[in-house]
Amino acid sequence: MEPIYEKTFPIRSYEVDLAGWVRPTAFLNYLQEAAGDHARLLGVAVRDLLPLGLTWVMSRTHLKLLGTARSRDEVRVRTWPSVREGRFSCREYEVTAADGRPLALATSSFAVLDLATRRPVVISERLPSYPLLPRRALADDFATLPRLAVPDTELTFRVGRGDLDMNRHANNVVYAAWALESVPAAVAERCVLVDLEIAYRAEVFYGETVLSRCQELAGGGEPVFLHQLVRSEDGTELTRLVSRWRELTDVVK
């Protein structure tokens, strides 16, 4: 079976920001949708795993944005699984505009979780084999992201029903949305996100409260932020993120 899957997405009006450009979270949703479709063709989608008492969970994501697009444009996602070792499997993504312009590259790492123990399992022992294409879209070894020290800002979110996915916990894209919301308005309005690294560390469930913390790193020419999501009830660290930004005029020519 061909290891590369392709899918085209029209950009909807509700997927763009105040300037009319597609939101980073929309890109993450396109990646998630294409990966899910491909996993279904390979026989290892979440719906295939749930009857086995298993499910996929995301461990890491690295998204590099190379360009942008507007509402009613189309984007094409190409995705393939690249690595399957022990408890983790990597998946790659290339995103282009309808005219072939490169828009994004991404790589992600997934684990298969035992729903009874909430612990990852050895993938080759529990899942059928599926074809790999050993080529990385981004050469990332997923080193540990730095821990936020002293937050400049902190926002509070409550996990609602609309935040949940089939695993009954907050969807991975919601984590990114909570983190990016904490970026100062002065940066969000004049800059565009060009790089986002996410390390998922724990689940969060309906009704719980999430603290989104943000700290700007000093010394760089362009804005770089450390982010941390924490469960308010017990202080559990949910996610670490690093976001890098660039002046909008430098990206959109």
**pLDDT per residue over 236-251, tens digit each?**
999 999 999 999 775 5
**pLDDT greater at residue 120 or residue 252:** 120
127-145 mean pLDDT: 95
pLDDT in tens, 147-175: 998 999 999 999 999 999 998 999 999 99
Q: What is the torsional sign of CA 193, 212, 159, 51? A: positive
Residues 63 and 1 occupy one common structural domain: yes
Identify whether residues 21 and 108 lie together within a single domain: yes
Domain holding 199, by residue range, is: 144-253
Cβ proximity of 121 and 113 under 8 Å: yes
C-alpha span between 114 and 92 (Å, rounded): 24
Alpha-carbon gap, residue 90 to 56, rounded angstroms: 12
Q: Mean pLDDT across the stretch 185-207?
A: 95
Q: How many helices and strands, by DSSP H and E, does the chain display? A: 6, 11
* Arithmetic mean of pLDDT, 32-60: 95
Of 82, 112, 137, the residue at which a domain comes to its end is: 137
Express the helix, strand and coil content of the chain in percent, nearest 5 each.
Answer: 20, 40, 35
Question: What's the mean pLDDT when you consider all of the chain?
Answer: 94
Task: Let me know whether 121 and 210 are in one domain.
Answer: no
Is there a single domain that holds both residue 122 and residue 50? yes
What's the CATH number where 246 sits?
3.10.129.10
Last residue of a domain, one of 79, 113, 137: 137
Q: For residue 232, what is the DSSP state? A: T
Residues 103 and 129 in one domain: yes
- Indicate if the pLDDT at residue 19 is higher than 70: yes
- Look at residue 1 in the predicted model and tell me its pLDDT: 59
> Is residue 2 over pLDDT 70?
no
Mean pLDDT of 201-210: 97
Concatenated DSSP letters for 97-159?
ETTS-EEEEEEEEEEEEETTTTEE--HHHHS---------SS----PPPPPP-S-SEEEEEE-
Spatial contact of 251 and 67, defined as CB atoms under 8 Å apart: yes
Percent of the chain's residues with pLDDT above 90: 92
123's CB contacts (< 8 A; 6+ apart) are 84, 86, 87, 88, 89, 111, 112
State the distance between the two ends of the chain, measured CA to CA, in whole angstroms. 40
Share of the chain above pLDDT 70, in %: 97
Alpha carbon 68 to its chain centroid, in Å, reads 17
Domain count, the chain: 2
Domain end among 102, 137, 172: 137
